[in-house]
Structure 1
Amino acid sequence: MAKGGPGPDPDFVQLLSPDGERVEHPEYSVEFTPDEYRGLYRDLVTVRKLDAEATALQRQGELGIWASLLGQEAAQVGSGRALRPQDMAFPTYREHGVLYTRGIDPIMPLGLFRGVDQGGWDSQAHKFHMYTIVIGAQTLHATGYAMGITMDGKVGTDEGEAVIAYFGDGASSQGDVNEAFVYSSVFNAPVVFFCQNNQYAISEPLERQTRVPLYQRANGFGFPGVRVDGNDVLATYAVTRKAVDDARHGQGPSLIEAYTYRMGAHTTNDDPTRYRIASEVEAWQAKDPIKRMRLLLSNEGLADDAFFADCDDSAATQALELRERVLAMPDPDPLTLFDHVYPEGSPELDEQQEQFAAYLASFEGSHR
């Protein structure tokens, strides 16, 4: 067992130390092939690079806003890779790493943040719901979906389905999240609540959200909770895999608190230097999830410098391609705003569309 953060924290599940050393745990372990270990590292590097490119695009005026995952790559890649193909994920607006593991084109969320579409991917095909901007609302969506799985008889076997709902430490104070805890518990819904505790709800530190470790809140709702080192991709994988497998076999909900850190701003509209000190950031930089995975691969002879260079080059190439595709996105026809409000349309919507079309036409021929 290992300690959580720079200060005194409760024990959490850890399988890989910040120094890249294996840590034994009595309940959790992973058995990967060398290719699978290398694949996790490649995921981490790629996701970070794509995220950095999106941040740069926003700073250059190409995106309206961006919510970076910097520092949280292990929590997202580890949990995302732990899901079975049939499992359904309900994200916030920051789960770019989970999105990547579900095989969704990384361009998709950038269309949303550029304002040219509403996200665009097929949620059912990828088993990954649309991004949710309303804080905590996705936990209720996930609980309802999970209740439906039970009613459809899709629980109780290895082929059963499970649901995972992502949210942050700040969202744990929202009524929606606590209501989701209640309903999932009393209906024994197959849902895993995955809280990425990155220490800050925008500018509010964790101590403004809770007086006890977040994972312990699960006890009051009648289901288990566990805290995992969210910067350890191996431990995050192991804990998530067990939780979703327990859920699919009918053991009900659980709460995972991934103890991690948001290295950058809450969004590109935020200035974290106004509410946290540099030494705190430096302490967490020593726990970097990519650094420790690289040390593991090197220490155990699973990868060499050529592999690491290839990962960096491949990620850079993907980031450049992403940039080019974002810049090539066409501006949408304003009237398409009305296309998908209702599947069959409505008289009121038709009237609004006509009025808006007339408004746009009023500018035709002008020199504005």
Structure 2
Amino acid sequence: MDLMEQFPLIQLVNGEGKQLEENPFITIANAKRFYEQMLFSRMFDRKAVNLQRQGRIGTYAPFEGQEGAQIGSALALEDGDWMFPTYRDHAATAAFGHSLVNIFLYWKGCIEGCVPPEGKHIFPPSVPIASQILHATGTAWAEKKKGSDRVSLVYFGDGATSEGDFHEGLNFASVFQLPVVFFNQNNGYAISVPIERQMHSKTIAQKSLAYDIPGVRVDGNDVFAVYSETLKAVERARNGEGPTLIEAVTWRYGAHTTTDEPSKYRDQRESEQRRQSEDPISRVEKYLRAENSWDGHWEEELKKKAEERLQQAVTEMEKTKKSDEGLMFDHVFGTDVWPVQEQKERFFHKESER
């Protein structure tokens, strides 16, 4: 069988909002819940970009266009499960209960931004590519040894599948049948490198074959399909049936970060075309309209509440005092080593001369 046939793109609601097959999760209530979360996430993302342009936070990694993949997967988790994000997965972490203030503080360079609310198992955003895969696998192993039913969900991009950590994590999770869901957001580019320059494989999902674990390829812009397939994978993990690799095929409209210029390596007209035909938020709106359940006043109220919530978070973020820069030297090793100590002394010497 051709691998594209073996790993078909699972889609429940198409870009026109048409339901393609029966599924218990395609309901008006779920559609409104997904829409509210995705709309808020997009408003958060745009707010963060504006704050960066104004110099109020540092370099930022936008995610507009990937809301369906992040929200659909995050809502499949239960309290007590573990989430391991990249530096781009703030829609997922916010939906899972992270503090908006702390998410903003992360991008302001404050150590508080790495701290989740009490009782929330959310790791700090991982900047080194694919390293969080090993953290998720190790945590899943610990939970299995404890006899709990807690699950790890780890996010990573297509570029991460070129790293050794990806293969080591999948292999270890497969050998020990660990409760971890590997969630890949494949947007076709690792910064400026297109996926065909990264791998000869037709899909990322097929990489599951090497480790004899389930692999699923889903339309990442179809929040219903993402939620349904992630929930299946989470339930398998929770029931002791081992790991799953999910490839969510999506598209990010803008830059890799606010320091990037995507028009140098891809035709941005494609982004606009995809926005018209594949957008995860407008897809849910079209579904609700088709079901005669769309309410423009409801949408405006959601926007108003979201803006108030975001503005409150920004205000709190800007009240927080600047972090002690010396903290970046203090937790590299368990005990001080002389090279780090020398760097710290040089840093503060230069600061005193300013």
TM-score for the superposition, normalised by structure 2: 0.90
Residue of structure 1 equivalent to 2:167 = 178
Sequence identity of aligned pairs in percent? 37
For residue 59 of structure 2, give the secondary structure of its aligned residue in structure 1. Answer: coil
Residues 185 and 123 of structure 1, relative CA distance in 2, 3 Å threshold:
farther
Across the two proteins, how many residue pairs are aligned to each other?
349
1:301 paired with 2:297, answer no
Alignment partners' CA distance in 2, 1:291 and 1:202? 26
SS at match of 1:133: coil
CA distance in 2, matches of 1:183, 1:9: 24
Query: Does the 8 A contact of 1:338 with 1:349 survive in 2?
Result: no
Q: Which of 135, 138, 142 is equivalent to 1:144?
A: 138
| Counterpart amino acid of residue 44 in structure 1 | M
Q: Which letter does structure 2 place at the counterpart of 1:18?
A: G
Which amino acid in the other structure matches residue 152 of structure 1? Answer: K
2:245 is aligned to: 255
Instruction: Quote the Cα distance in structure 2 between the aligned partners of 1:215 and 1:46.
Output: 30
Which residue type is aligned with residue 21 of structure 1? K
Residues 1-368 of structure 1 aligned to structure 2 (within 5 Å): 11-24=8-21, 29-31=23-25, 34-117=28-111, 119-122=113-116, 125-154=119-148, 160-211=149-200, 212-285=202-275, 286-337=277-328, 355=345, 359=349, 362-363=352-353
Does structure 2 retain, via aligned residues, the 8 Å contact 1:164–1:194?
A: yes
3-state DSSP of counterpart to 2:124: coil
Tell me the alpha carbon deviations over residues 284-341 of structure 1, each in whole angstroms, 9 at most, x when there is no partner: 1120000011111222133311111111222222233333333333222344556656
8 A Cα contact 1:38 1:302, kept in partner: no
Preserved CA contact (<8 Å) 2:114 2:125? no
Looking at structure 1, the residues matched to 126 and 112 of structure 2 have their Cα atoms a distance apart, in angstroms, of 11
Distance change (3 Å), C-alpha of 1:351 and 1:261:
closer
Segment of structure 1 superposing worse, 57-66 or 228-237? 57-66
Superposition RMSD on alpha carbons, in Å? Answer: 2.7
Q: 1:203 to 1:360 in 2, by over 3 A?
A: closer
Per-residue Cα deviation, 1:75-112 (whole angstroms, up to 9, x for no partner):
00000001122221111111101111111111212212
Pair 1:352–1:303, CA change in 2 (3 A): same
Whether the aligned pair in 2 keeps the contact of 1:75 and 1:231 (CA below 8 Å) is yes
Q: Alpha carbons of 1:313 and 1:357: their partners in 2 closer, same or farther (altered >3 Å)?
A: same
Secondary structure (helix, strand or coil) at the match of 1:82 reads coil
| Deviation per residue, 1:265-293 (Å, 9 max, x gap) | 01111110001113321231120000011
Cα 1:327/1:348, change in 2 over 3 Å: same
1:321-368 per-residue CA deviation (whole Å, 9 max, x = no partner) reads 33333333322234455665678x6596997699479738955xxxx5
Deviating more after overlay: 35-44 vs 250-259: 35-44
Q: Do the aligned partners of 2:62 and 2:255 also contact (CA within 8 Å) in 1?
A: yes
* Consecutive unaligned residues in structure 2, runs of 5 or more: none
Compute the TM-score of the two structures, normalised by the length of structure 1. 0.87
Aligned to 1:157: none
SS of equivalent to 2:245: strand
Distance 1:180 1:353, change over 3 A: closer
Contact 1:140 1:180 in 2 (8 A): yes
CA contact (8 A) 2:177 2:240 kept: yes
8 Å contact 1:50–1:318 — kept in the other structure? no
Please say if residues 185 and 253 of structure 1, whose CA atoms lie closer than 8 Å, have aligned partners that are also in contact. yes
Q: Which moved more, 1:351-360 or 1:209-218?
A: 351-360
| CA offset digits 1:249-268 (Å, max 9, x no partner) | 11111100000001110111
What is the SS of the residue equivalent to 1:195? strand
Provide structure 1 residue ranges, at least 5 long, that are not aligned to the other structure.
155-159
Is the deviation greater in 120-129 or in 189-198? 120-129
